Structure 1
Amino acid sequence: MADAAVPGARVKVRFAGQDVDGFVVERASTSDHTGSLRPLRRVVSPEPVLAPEIARLSQTLARRYAGARSDVLRLAVPPRHATTEKVPSPARTPAPLLASPTTWSEVEHAGAFLRHLTTGGAPRAVWSAAPADDWPAMVAEAVAATYAGGRGALVCVPDRRDVARVDAALTSVLPGHHHVCLTADGGPAARYRDFLAISRGARRIVVGTRSAGFAPVHDLGLVVLWDDGDDLHAEPRAPYPHTREVLLARAEQQGTAALLGGVARTPEAQQLVTTGWAHELTVPRAVLRHRARVEAVPAEDRSVGTRIPRAAYDAVRRGLTTGPVLVQTPRAGYAASLACDTCRAPARCSACTGPLAQAGPAQPPRCRWCGHDEAAWACATCGARGLRAPVRGEARTAEELGRMFAGTTVRSSSGDRVLDRVGPAADIVVATVGAEPVADEGYAAVVLLDTWLTLARDDLRVAEEALRRWLNAAALVRTGGHVVAVGDPAHPALQALVRWDPAGFARREVDERAQAHLPPAARMATVTGDLGALDDVLHLLDLPQGAEVLGPVPVDEEHRVLLRVPAPAGEALSHSLGDLQRLRSARKLDPVRIQVDPLSI
């Protein structure tokens, strides 16, 4: 097996009485293992799919997230497709001559950043995109600058729609076949084919979702992460690494440039600026004022059924004279909840007392618990039969706007009916959060409805997430567009939106969380399981000095303990939790789920 068992190859090893999969990490003439060594059972494939830098990264992330290295490798290396492996990858295409970047012209210090990329430097920046920015084109130009310097680049975005936009921008900036897109849409064969093209060095530019963060790009010079606040960047499988931490670890280990971009800014990204790890890339305040006019208006009296204030109505009316208008609403569907129109008591099912909802204007109210239709509903409190919808979905919103603006086309985008793009026609587009289509020439106006509902969730990141959602929608306006948010103008998140100040809001969040000993000023971990298993955990766990144990508290059918330490002790906490996992596995104790730095607590 000497010729086939090369570093990075897949092998089979006999372990605990069964054949298990493994990788050759390196070959050496001696071992520090004091016990007996087992021979390889066989080499599955001589293809070196585990690059040395990814092997080191897997070890780093396993320590960081108190997980097993095998779990990280399962995320990093796709399953083998034997037929695809036999097909040679295409030849590498020479880098074309590039024009000077144009989309970054109004961003302060962007010229120096791009020059460093071209000359082989490793600058690190946190970039706040402005309204009407063509961010995919800007990412493509940064990648092209790196590629012109003879190095590869890796771009991670939240979802396939963003992948498609960056793919189109790269094809425009770098004509020919220079990059691959790593997504699950093409199936296992196509994904493995693209992975091999990267692993073999045939392609050195990668665009993809969170799993693309492990792509073994040759001569990696730049890692790019767009919208790190999106929860799609949080891996739902153990050990639950976040794409931001994956790319930052790669930038540290491989000495690459790093670009964290987004319309909004997370406290974690702001912390990178505060500590000096990265520099800011922003546009001047004068440019922001020219790009968009943003205002927040209070909702009028709901008792008369008014939902769209006069200022928002006027913004839609004026916007329709020049182009499409986007209306963002937090809820999908028609009427997600119903109440008595007379006494405002919640409408309940007569069969099981469950909450009632309405799926469409011609459909009767239906119980969300048992599915019972309430065609002849009457209020149990006052006896009235009229119903109202305190929370209205995107379908009901589209219906109301269609009545207000007769003769105007109203289009919906939500759920499984998501529009990718809309043209320049003067249509109204009603979209839920994250389903906003891109307008070819930008939206003339953007209206954000029911902002109070976005802020009503019970979560540490509720204000941060609300501002991110509003900014992402507002950034779709064309230059000179108008943005109207309906809500409490005094709320700090809405004030940050009106000022278009995501950096200032992030600084405030960092300061407030530091006072409350919350991330990113502190490091946290959750341990979830039954009460007996949690008692064992607290008995066996060797916590670092200054650690706090909060809980246990019930979560669904289990219980959870929250562990909190100051940020400098985060590595010690991860080390202790990793030792605990190995000890519990060796003793075959009841399983628990450990998450280090969970996205939501």
Structure 2
Amino acid sequence: MNQPVPEPATAERRTPAGQPAVVEQPALPGLPAARRRRRPSAGPVPVAEVLPVARVVVDLAPAHLDRAFEYAVPAALDDVAGPGVRVRVRFGGQDVDGFLLERVGEAEHAGELAPLRRVVSAEPVLTPEVLRLARAVADRYAGTLPDVLRLAVPARHARTEGEVPDEDGPTADGPGDPAPTAGPLPPLPPLPAWEAYRGGPAFCRHVHAGGAPRAVWTALPGGPGEDWPSAVAQAVAACRAGGRTALVVVPDARDVDRVLAALDHERPDAAGDVVRLVADDGPAARYRAFLAARRGRAGVVVGTRASAFAPLPDLGLAVVWDDGDGLHAEPRAPYPHVREVLALRSELEGAALLVGSMGRSVEAQALVAAGWAHEVAADRPTVRRRTPRVQALTSAELAREGPAAAARLPTPAWRTLRDALARGPVLVGVPRAGYVPAVACARCRALARCTACHGPLGLDGPDGTPACRWCGRLATDWRCGTCGHDVLRSVRVGSERTAEELGRAFPGVPVRVSGARSAGGVLARVPDRPALVVSTPGAEPVADGGYAAAVLLDAAVLTSWPGLRSAEEAVRRWLSAAALVRPASAGGVVQLVGDAAERPTQALVRWDPAGLAARELDERSALALPPAVRTALVEGSRDAVAAVLARLALPASAEVLGPVPVTPAEDRHPDVRAGGASATAAGGLLDDWVDGSVRALVRVPRGDGPALTRTVAASLAVRSARRESGTVRVQVDAAEVL
């Protein structure tokens, strides 16, 4: 029988004025305490007499809050509440961070304004130029300004902010070696690294004179003083001689070190003028470099992806090296790409732009084809003189070898390794890391899979137990689900197993492994003495004096995945490795082993990445594929994706493809789409995937790109304001849409 719940006991008391007061009994132990009433305000806060209204962007994720909010500036904060400073404000019943954008005399809001809670720091970390750039990036990628500002402005490090600069370093009066404000410019520094390129010296002269040229540069291999870091350093020196600042963005820390070394060589007297801005260096080092640029104490910033927003005053030159590298694509919303960020910055700030690479991305080729940028490249005789001899060891070329042609390391490649080791180090490129990344049934050749999650099995060592590459479960009692056999065979061989096999084939020769998953990590340099260097793509160390030869194994792996960028990505990786080899005149040779796709293979043999990019661009234009069109990729739960698409006010030229199901294997493991493993459920009707994720692609001609991003941003703002259920992720101009 249910018992009635008793009312809380109360006691009547008398106030000093004689009035009765009802007091509620305190809560029982274990129950939440009653909320205390907030104290009444002490009264209105005195506000500043001049420009009393602050416009603040709050650091909140919801898309419908992507606008400036008005707050009153207390008189006590009048001296420190300037544009660009970090502030704390009251929003939605809680204190949140934000940036003060500007102060105005009158508010647009008709009611009373809440005051600023406090100024976190008087350091104006958000400059007007960076604010304009962040707003342009947010509009370009259908994102929000707070999301972009999280990428552009590093977190505050109070101790670093209070450091006093060294007396011997550059002062706050300006960068280390600015040009005089009056009179002729300093002479243009020598440009030996640019003499081999058509338009190279002219580009540097234009930058030195204060112009804003834009160029797509296809670099060539070269020794000290002629390699790509030296060319970048000489372009930066020309910009600094003209009195403006320079920004260099490269994929990783190893490239940062190479550029810094080249700058030290080209400008030995201006070492304090250069700062390194790399997120991996830690919050203190990153914030210190950021402040040096913001305060005008640095004239050159060299860094990785986040440095594209470095607050350099009077920017004269922006350089992005190897724009096709995936590290230049930001993995956080709104997913901007460094190349596009610097292109926007070039237009907004009137700065020169240099997009350089050993290869040529299709996006960079589109800039040349549209006339927005000019090509800087060498003529064919210079290309032949500077590059190694390239051979493609396909099955047709190896037919004379008979059964030995099927070997992973055929006889011609083995001879190349043997002969080249007498002259110096040899590079062996392997597309996969690890020992044996995938195994199969020895009887029926079916790919071995985990019994728990159906992920691929692999081996981490010669005596290791097969383990799942997805969930890590050990397959101690594995049996083939097709034929019941319990013996495994290797299907794909990684860098560790390759190094082990080469060590047995060449006894007495040192074997070094370079890769993120190897025991020694990624090597930066190797000495100029005989050794076998086994490396995964992107981890190739630089050899002093260049490699005597390079053998690139398993060539078909990089061109067999069905991605839109497989051909250009394969050529980019092959050229990056081949560029480390000595020229043909010094005996340098590169051998590509395997039946890769014909088009990228021929582009490598001819050393013609621009020709491949031009042909790819023509075909994508005919098929309405990026970058010939602008796209918005919408992924998430089916109902949420449908709601976002239904609100889009698309132009008549727009086309919506999908939605189509996204298998769980694709969501968790991008290697499935790249040929790393077969999908567990590839395809199927949308109705069969009610509980799964779906993907839709919206594409429009390039001229309608701004309209697409505006309507996508508006739909996401409505979704945020209504707090719709489900999950949605939107990427504008995603790197891969297949």
| Corresponding residue number in structure 2 for 1:60 | 136
Name structure 2 gaps, 5 residues minimum: 1-76, 180-185, 665-691
| Corresponding residue number in structure 2 for 1:599 | 735
| Corresponding residue number in structure 2 for 1:561 | 696
Q: Which amino acid aligns with 1:66?
A: A
Q: How far has the Cα of 1:131 moved from its partner? A: 2.7
1:315 is aligned, of 416, 428, 445, to 416
| Alignment RMSD | 2.4
TM-score by length of 1: 0.94
From the superposition, tell whether residues 245 and 460 of structure 1 become closer, same or farther in structure 2 (CA, over 3 Å). same
Q: Which amino acid aligns with 2:198?
A: E
From the superposition, tell whether residues 526 and 302 of structure 1 become closer, same or farther in structure 2 (CA, over 3 Å). farther
Q: Does residue 20 of structure 1 match 2:121?
A: no
| Corresponding residue number in structure 2 for 1:170 | 263
Conserved 8 A contact 1:296-1:489: no
Conserved 8 A contact 2:245-2:314: yes
1:148 is aligned, of 198, 218, 241, to 241
| Corresponding residue number in structure 1 for 2:214 | 124
Conserved 8 A contact 1:320-1:426: yes
Q: How far has the Cα of 1:595 moved from its partner? A: 1.1
Please give the residue correspondences for 1:325-364 in structure 2 after superposition, counting only pairs within 5 Å: 325-341=426-442, 343-347=444-448, 355-364=456-465
- CA distance in 2 between counterparts of 1:35 and 1:227 reads 52
| Corresponding residue number in structure 1 for 2:542 | 438
Moved more, 538-547 or 245-254: 538-547
| Corresponding residue number in structure 1 for 2:671 | none
Q: Which amino acid aligns with 1:161?
A: R
Q: Does residue 372 of structure 1 match 2:474?
A: yes
Moved more, 506-515 or 345-354: 345-354
From the superposition, tell whether residues 439 and 60 of structure 1 become closer, same or farther in structure 2 (CA, over 3 Å). same
Q: Which amino acid aligns with 1:468?
A: R
Q: Does residue 265 of structure 1 match 2:366?
A: no
Q: Does residue 298 of structure 1 match 2:394?
A: yes
Q: Which amino acid aligns with 1:263?
A: M
From the superposition, tell whether residues 88 and 186 of structure 1 become closer, same or farther in structure 2 (CA, over 3 Å). same
Name structure 1 gaps, 5 residues minimum: none
Secondary structure at 2:102 match in 1: coil
Q: Which amino acid aligns with 1:318?
A: D
- CA distance in 2 between counterparts of 1:353 and 1:554 reads 19
Secondary structure at 2:582 match in 1: strand
User: Which of the pair has more CA radius of gyration?
Assistant: 2
| Corresponding residue number in structure 1 for 2:162 | 86
- CA distance in 2 between counterparts of 1:352 and 1:52 reads 51
- CA distance in 1 between counterparts of 2:504 and 2:636 reads 52
Q: How far has the Cα of 1:95 moved from its partner? A: 5.9
Conserved 8 A contact 2:514-2:541: yes
Conserved 8 A contact 2:189-2:238: no
Q: Which amino acid aligns with 2:554?
A: D
Q: How far has the Cα of 1:596 moved from its partner? A: 0.8
From the superposition, tell whether residues 225 and 355 of structure 1 become closer, same or farther in structure 2 (CA, over 3 Å). closer
Moved more, 51-60 or 483-492: 483-492
Conserved 8 A contact 2:178-2:244: no
Conserved 8 A contact 1:528-1:593: yes
Moved more, 363-372 or 315-324: 363-372
Q: Does residue 550 of structure 1 match 2:640?
A: no
Q: Deviations over 1:316-356 (max 9, x none)?
A: 22221211111101111111122345653444678998644
Q: Which amino acid aligns with 1:580?
A: S
| Corresponding residue number in structure 2 for 1:44 | 120
- CA distance in 2 between counterparts of 1:353 and 1:589 reads 33
Please give the residue correspondences for 1:381-530 in structure 2 after superposition, counting only pairs within 5 Å: 381=483, 385=487, 387-416=488-517, 417-480=521-584, 481-488=588-595, 491-530=598-637
1:135 is aligned, of 219, 228, 233, to 228
Moved more, 304-313 or 571-580: 304-313
Q: Deviations over 1:511-545 (max 9, x none)?
A: 11111111111111112221221222122221122
Q: Which amino acid aligns with 1:111?
A: P
Secondary structure at 2:235 match in 1: helix
Secondary structure at 1:333 match in 2: coil
Q: How far has the Cα of 1:184 moved from its partner? A: 2.1
Conserved 8 A contact 1:524-1:596: yes
Q: Deviations over 1:541-595 (max 9, x none)?
A: 2112211111112223422221111111111000101111222222222352211
Q: How far has the Cα of 1:388 moved from its partner? A: 3.5
Q: How far has the Cα of 1:492 moved from its partner? A: 0.3
| Corresponding residue number in structure 1 for 2:369 | 274
Secondary structure at 2:103 match in 1: coil
From the superposition, tell whether residues 599 and 350 of structure 1 become closer, same or farther in structure 2 (CA, over 3 Å). closer
- CA distance in 2 between counterparts of 1:35 and 1:58 reads 30
Conserved 8 A contact 1:436-1:473: yes
- CA distance in 1 between counterparts of 2:580 and 2:483 reads 46
Q: Deviations over 1:96-140 (max 9, x none)?
A: 988512222212221111111212121111000113352111111
Q: Deviations over 1:477-520 (max 9, x none)?
A: 12222111112376101111111111110011111111111111
From the superposition, tell whether residues 32 and 354 of structure 1 become closer, same or farther in structure 2 (CA, over 3 Å). closer
From the superposition, tell whether residues 592 and 376 of structure 1 become closer, same or farther in structure 2 (CA, over 3 Å). closer
Q: How far has the Cα of 1:199 moved from its partner? A: 0.4
Secondary structure at 1:553 match in 2: strand
Conserved 8 A contact 1:351-1:372: no
2:332 is aligned, of 228, 237, 241, to 237
| Higher relative contact order, chain-length normalized (CA < 8 Å, sep 6+) | 1
Secondary structure at 1:259 match in 2: strand
Q: How far has the Cα of 1:371 moved from its partner? A: 3.5
From the superposition, tell whether residues 9 and 346 of structure 1 become closer, same or farther in structure 2 (CA, over 3 Å). closer
Secondary structure at 2:239 match in 1: helix
Q: How far has the Cα of 1:41 moved from its partner? A: 2.4
- CA distance in 2 between counterparts of 1:69 and 1:348 reads 45
Conserved 8 A contact 2:634-2:730: yes
- CA distance in 2 between counterparts of 1:396 and 1:453 reads 17
| Corresponding residue number in structure 2 for 1:202 | 297
Q: Which amino acid aligns with 2:201?
A: G
Secondary structure at 1:511 match in 2: helix
| Corresponding residue number in structure 1 for 2:342 | 247
Conserved 8 A contact 2:559-2:597: no
Conserved 8 A contact 1:8-1:48: yes
Q: Which amino acid aligns with 2:130?
A: I
| Corresponding residue number in structure 2 for 1:583 | 718
| Corresponding residue number in structure 1 for 2:79 | 3
- CA distance in 1 between counterparts of 2:272 and 2:163 reads 18
Moved more, 158-167 or 101-110: 101-110
Conserved 8 A contact 1:489-1:495: no
Q: How far has the Cα of 1:267 moved from its partner? A: 0.8
Secondary structure at 1:24 match in 2: strand
